[in-house]
């Protein structure tokens, strides 16, 4: 277990702490809850940076990192729903999208697929939009739900981009696999003729 993966694992422990603080009824509960959310976000940035810098990117880390991130964000969405800060429709779409993503990642990991794609600028932008909407919703500022819907729409665009990149990468690997034996056979045939 390397350092980036250890940091990722600690992010799972932020989830129950966040939920407890959010519903604690303390005077500054919103502030403390958002601070915990920021800590989780910073740990997400830190583990990714360390993994790239130290060349410690692992298959386990590629699964745990987005899983921890999505579970944390789903927890935030559910707490907002329970506290009636967002609609059931918005919460359902958010959770359903993330559940489907987690299931797809699990399937790829089970197949030991090498086609797992790292986060790109669109995914990072989508996460930033969600965190911005969380800020507005946490302190019950105006336009919080509107920002959440913008984040959701952008996240679907991001998912579409990821899907295209994945299938393009998968197709490239398949074409290479198919062409290589053909090229070998062609070379052997030419040698036999000579």
Domain boundaries, the chain: 3-167
Confidence of residue 181 (pLDDT cuts 50, 70, 90): low
pLDDT: which is higher, 176 or 64? 64
Model confidence pLDDT, tens digit, residues 83-125: 999 999 999 999 999 998 888 877 777 666 555 555 667 778 8
**Fold topology of 3-167:** 1.20.120
The whole-number pLDDT of residue 30 equals 96
What pLDDT is stored for residue 57 in this prediction? Answer: 84
Q: Exposed e or buried b for every residue in 121-136, given b needs 16+ CB within 10 A?
A: ebbeebbebbbebbeb
């Amino acid at each position: 277990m390397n350092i980036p993966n250890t940091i990722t694992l600690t992010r799972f422990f932020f989830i129950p702490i966040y939920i407890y603080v959010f519903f604690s009824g303390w005077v500054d509960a919103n502030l403390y809850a958002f601070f915990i959310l920021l800590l989780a976000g910073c740990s997400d940035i830190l583990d990714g940076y360390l993994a790239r810098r130290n060349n410690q990117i692992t298959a386990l880390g590629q699964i745990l990192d987005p899983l921890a991130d999505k579970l944390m964000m789903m927890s935030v969405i559910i707490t907002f729903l329970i506290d009636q800060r967002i609609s059931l429709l918005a919460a359902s779409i958010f959770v359903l999208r993330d559940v489907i993503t987690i299931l797809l990642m699990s399937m790829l990991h089970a197949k030991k697929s090498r086609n797992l794609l790292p986060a790109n600028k669109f995914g990072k932008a989508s996460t930033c939009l969600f965190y911005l909407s969380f800020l507005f919703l946490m302190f019950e500022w105006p336009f919080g739900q509107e920002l959440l819907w913008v984040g959701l729409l952008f996240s679907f665009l991001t998912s579409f981009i990821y899907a295209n990149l994945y299938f393009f990468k998968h197709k490239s690997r398949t074409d290479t696999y198919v062409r290589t034996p053909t090229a070998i056979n062609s070379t052997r045939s030419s040698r036999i003729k000579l």
